[in-house]
C-alpha cells in the first residue's frame, strides 16, 4: 500500500508521470464525494486510477450538504422503496464499518404544538416507525441508531432548551446519521484511494473528455496536457452536462443559514419543523459538534449557467428564519445569521417539482463510450461508485476483482468501541479517527502548533499543518473553506486568516 498522504509535492510528481504519457485504467473527472468514491472503488479493486478536480477536493455540492447520512425515510413517502432501502443500507455501512469516526447518531425532535394536528402527528409517528423498519431491514443495530419514541414536553425542552415552552404538548424523537463534516468525508475517501495508489490531482480542470482521454489545464502552472485512460468517468455533479451532451440535469438550489455557537440553546438534538401545507417537507435546526447550528433547507429549481459558488437568495433567509422562529422561545432575526451557504443538487431531468424529483443516481454511457455518473446523495456515494466502476469494467473490458468497499474502512476508521480508546481529545478523534494522536503529536513536537489559529477558535495550528502535509491543502482557501469549515462564518475565517496563511506557507516550504 502507498502512503495516504496528499500534498503539493506528491501532486507535482504524479502529474508529471501522467503528462509524460503514462496510461491509467480509469480517469475520474470531479473530486466531490462521487468522484472520490469512484477513485477508491477502482483503486481498491487493483485498477490504476487518476482523479482530476478543477479546484479542490469537495469544492462543489459535496461541501454544501446538510451533513446527514439519511436513512431514506423521505423516499418512502414518494413510493421509492428500493431507494429508501439502499439509503438505509449505505447509512449502516458508513456508521458501522467504513466511517464510524466521521459519523454519529443525531437525535431528531419533532415538537408538537397546537398548529400540529393530531392527524399530522399520527402521520409523522407512522413515518418514523417506517424509518425504523428501514433501519431493521438494513440490519443497523439499535445500539447505533436507537428506536423512535414519544417524549413529554419536559423531556423535549431538556433536549432542545431553545424551544418555546408555551403550547408544547410533547414531541416525537427519532435518530438518523450525521457526518462531522461532508468535506472531511470527501478528503478521507480521496486519501484512502491514494493509499491504494490513486493519483489525486486537484487544480486540474478538464476542458474536453472522450471515452479514453481527458484534456486538462493545470491551474497552478497554466500548462495543458492530455491524460490517457482505458475508461474515463465523468463525475462532475451539477457540471456534468457542460462536459457531455449525454446527460440533462435539472439543478435545484438548497440553502442553509449558519448560527454561531450559543445563538439558540440546542444541546446535540436537532429540531425538525414541518413546512405548513406540506406533509413531507421539514426545516431543520442542526446542531454541530463545534456548537454552530445549521438552519436549512430549501429546494428550488434553478436555470442558467452553473456558478462556482451558489449564493443564498434573500427570500430563503426570510423563509428559514420565520419557520424556525415559529417553534423557538426567542424568535431569530437577521442579526442572528453569522453565515450562510447554498448548494446545487445534481438532479437528473424528469417531470414534476424538484422536491419530488428522484434522488436516484444514474450511470450513463454516451454513444462515444464516455461514462457519466450523476444524481444520488452523499449517503449513497459508495453504491454509486460501485455501479460506475462495474460499468467501466464492462465497457472497457478491464480485468479486476469485485468491489470491496462495503468492508473497507476509510483511513482513520475503527469500530466505535476502539475509537473511544484513542489517546487524543474527543474533538480530534471525531475529525481524524485513529489518526488523531498523529495530529496532536504535531502540537507536542512544537508547542506553537498546539495553539488555536485565532482566539476562541477550537481549530489548532497542528490541524492546518496536517492539512497541508497530508490532506492535499494547497493554499489558505483550501484550509479555511474545506479542511476546516472556518469560512462558514466569514468573521471566524478573517480572525484566523493571517495565522493560517503563515502556517500554510511554512508547511508548503517544509515539503521540499
Ligand X SMILES: Cc1cc2nc3c(=O)[nH]c(=O)nc-3n(C[C@H](O)[C@H](O)[C@H](O)COP(=O)(O)OP(=O)(O)OC[C@H]3O[C@@H](n4cnc5c(N)ncnc54)[C@H](O)[C@@H]3O)c2cc1C
Q: List contacts with ligand X (CB under 6 A).
A: 29-35, 52-55, 59-62, 64-68, 70, 205-206, 235-239, 243, 254, 297, 343-346, 376-379
The distance of closest approach from Cβ of residue 30 to ligand X in the complex, given in angstroms and rounded to an integer, is: 3
Handedness of CA 404, 406, 412, 418 (dihedral sign): negative
| Beta-bridge mates of residue 234 | 29, 372
Q: Specify the residue, 286 or 496, whose C-beta has the smaller distance to ligand X.
A: 286
CA dist., res. 38 & res. 235, Å (int): 9
Nearer to ligand X, 372 or 507 (CB): 372
CA 192 to chain centroid, in Å, comes to: 16
Is 287 or 343 the residue whose CB approaches ligand X more closely? 343
Comparison of 243 and 436: residue with beta carbon closer to ligand X: 243
Residue with Cβ nearer ligand X (298 or 507)? 298
Cell numbers representing residue 86 in the block: 439502499
Cβ–Cβ < 8 Å for 339, 257: yes
Which residues does 119 contact at the CB level (< 8 Å), separation at least 6? none
Shortest CB 257 distance to ligand X, Å: 12
CB closer to ligand X out of 27 and 489: 27
Pair 339, 295: CB distance under 8 Å: no
- Looking at the Cβ atoms of 7 and 65, the one nearer to ligand X is 65
- Cα separation, 488 vs 268, in Å, equals 19
What's the grid cell of residue 103? 459519523
Q: Whole-number minimum distance, CB 159 to ligand X, in Å?
A: 21
Nearer to ligand X, 234 or 507 (CB): 234
Residue 247 C-beta: closest distance to ligand X, Å:
12
Contact 250, 88 (CB under 8 A): no
Q: Are 61 and 359 in contact (CB under 8 A)?
A: no
Which residues, in sequence order, are CB contacts of 93 under 8 Å at separation 6+?
Answer: 382, 406
We find the least distance from the C-beta atom of residue 187 to ligand X, in angstroms, to be 12
Report d(CA 276, CA 203) in Å as an integer.
44
Comparison of 56 and 435: residue with beta carbon closer to ligand X: 56
User: Measured from the CB atom, is 53 or 475 closer to ligand X?
Assistant: 53
- Burial tier of 69 (Cβ tally within 10 Å: 0-12, 13-18, 19+): buried
SS3 assignment, position 328: strand
Within 10 angstroms of residue 108's Cβ, the number of other Cβ atoms is 23
> What is the residue-wise DSSP string for 187-239?
HHHHHHHHHTT-EEE-SEEEEEE-SSEEEEEETTT--EEEEEEEEEEE--GGG
Query: By C-beta, is 83 or 378 nearer to ligand X?
Result: 378
**Least distance (Å) between residue 346 CB and ligand X:** 5
Shortest distance, position 251 Cβ to ligand X, whole Å: 9
**C-alpha to C-alpha distance for 481 and 390, rounded to whole angstroms:** 33
How far out from the chain centre does Cα 77 lie? 24
Shortest gap between Cβ of 338 and ligand X (angstroms)?
18
Shortest spacing between CB 52 and ligand X, in angstroms? 5
- Compute the Cα dihedral for 235, 240, 242, 246 and give only its sign: positive
| Element (DSSP H or E) covering residue 314 | helix 314-325
Kindly state the smallest distance separating residue 252's Cβ from ligand X, in Å. Answer: 7
Sign of CA pseudo-dihedral 352, 356, 357, 358? negative
Those residues with Cβ within 8 angstroms of residue 422's Cβ, 6 or more apart along the chain or in another chain: 414, 429, 433, 434, 436, 437
Nearer to ligand X, 86 or 492 (CB): 86
Taking the complex as a whole, the smallest distance from the CB of residue 351 to ligand X amounts, in Å, to: 20
* Residues 359/348, Cβ–Cβ less than 8 Å: no
In whole angstroms, the minimum distance from the beta carbon of 66 to ligand X comes to 3
Amino acid at each position: 500500500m502507498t502512503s495516504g498522504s496528499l500534498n503539493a509535492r506528491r501532486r507535482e510528481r504524479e502529474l508529471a508521470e501522467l503528462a509524460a504519457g503514462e496510461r491509467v485504467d480509469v480517469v475520474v473527472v470531479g473530486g466531490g464525494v462521487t468522484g472520490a468514491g469512484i477513485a477508491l472503488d477502482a483503486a481498491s479493486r487493483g485498477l490504476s486510477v487518476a482523479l482530476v478536480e478543477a479546484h479542490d477536493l469537495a469544492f462543489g455540492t459535496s461541501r454544501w450538504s446538510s451533513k446527514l447520512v439519511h436513512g431514506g425515510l423521505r423516499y418512502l413517502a414518494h413510493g421509492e422503496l428500493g431507494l429508501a432501502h439502499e439509503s438505509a443500507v449505505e447509512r449502516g455501512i458508513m456508521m458501522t464499518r467504513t466511517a464510524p469516526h466521521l459519523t454519529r447518531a443525531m437525535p431528531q425532535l419533532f415538537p408538537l404544538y397546537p398548529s400540529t394536528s393530531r392527524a399530522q402527528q399520527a402521520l409523522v409517528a407512522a413515518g418514523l416507525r417506517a424509518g425504523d423498519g428501514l433501519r431493521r431491514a438494513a440490519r443497523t443495530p439499535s445500539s447505533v441508531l436507537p428506536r423512535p419514541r414519544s417524549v413529554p414536553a419536559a423531556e423535549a425542552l431538556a433536549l432542545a432548551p431553545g424551544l418555546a415552552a408555551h403550547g408544547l404538548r410533547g414531541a416525537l424523537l427519532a435518530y438518523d446519521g450525521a457526518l462531522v463534516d461532508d468535506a472531511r468525508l470527501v478528503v478521507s475517501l480521496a486519501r484512502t484511494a491514494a493509499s491504494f495508489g490513486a493519483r489525486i490531482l486537484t487544480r486540474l480542470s478538464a476542458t474536453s473528455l472522450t471515452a479514453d482521454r481527458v484534456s486538462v489545464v493545470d491551474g497552478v502552472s497554466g500548462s495543458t496536457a492530455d491524460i490517457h485512460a482505458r475508461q474515463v468517468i465523468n463525475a462532475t455533479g451539477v457540471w456534468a452536462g457542460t462536459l457531455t451532451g449525454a446527460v440533462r440535469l435539472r439543478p435545484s438550489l438548497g440553502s442553509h443559514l449558519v448560527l454561531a455557537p450559543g445563538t439558540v440553546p440546542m444541546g446535540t438534538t436537532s429540531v425538525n419543523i414541518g413546512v405548513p401545507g406540506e406533509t413531507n417537507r421539514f426545516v431543520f435546526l442542526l446542531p454541530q459538534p463545534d456548537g454552530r447550528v445549521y438552519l436549512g433547507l430549501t429546494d428550488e429549481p434553478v436555470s442558467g449557467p452553473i456558478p462556482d459558488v451558489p449564493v443564498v437568495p434573500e427570500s430563503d433567509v426570510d423563509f428559514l428564519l420565520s419557520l424556525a422562529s415559529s417553534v423557538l422561545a426567542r424568535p431569530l432575526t437577521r442579526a442572528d445569521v453569522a453565515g450562510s451557504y447554498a448548494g446545487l443538487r445534481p438532479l437528473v431531468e424528469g417531470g414534476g417539482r424538484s422536491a419530488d424529483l428522484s434522488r436516484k443516481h444514474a450511470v450513463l454511457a454516451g454513444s462515444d463510450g464516455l461514462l457519466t455518473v450523476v444524481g444520488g446523495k452523499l449517503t449513497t456515494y459508495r453504491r454509486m461508485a460501485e455501479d460506475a466502476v462495474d460499468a467501466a469494467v464492462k465497457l472497457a473490458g478491464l480485468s479486476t476483482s469485485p468491489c470491496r468497499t462495503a468492508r473497507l474502512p476509510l483511513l482513520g476508521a475503527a469500530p466505535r468501541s476502539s475509537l473511544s480508546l484513542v489517546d487524543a481529545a474527543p474533538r480530534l478523534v471525531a475529525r481524524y479517527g485513529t489518526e488523531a494522536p498523529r495530529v496532536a503529536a504535531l502540537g507536542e513536537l512544537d508547542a506553537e502548533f498546539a495553539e488555536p489559529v485565532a482566539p476562541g477558535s477550537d481549530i489548532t495550528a497542528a490541524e492546518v499543518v496536517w492539512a497541508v502535509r497530508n490532506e492535499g491543502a494547497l493554499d489558505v482557501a483550501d484550509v479555511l473553506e474545506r479542511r476546516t469549515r472556518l469560512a462558514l462564518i466569514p468573521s471566524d475565517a478573517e480572525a484566523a486568516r493571517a495565522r493560517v496563511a503563515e502556517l500554510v506557507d511554512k508547511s508548503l516550504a517544509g515539503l521540499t
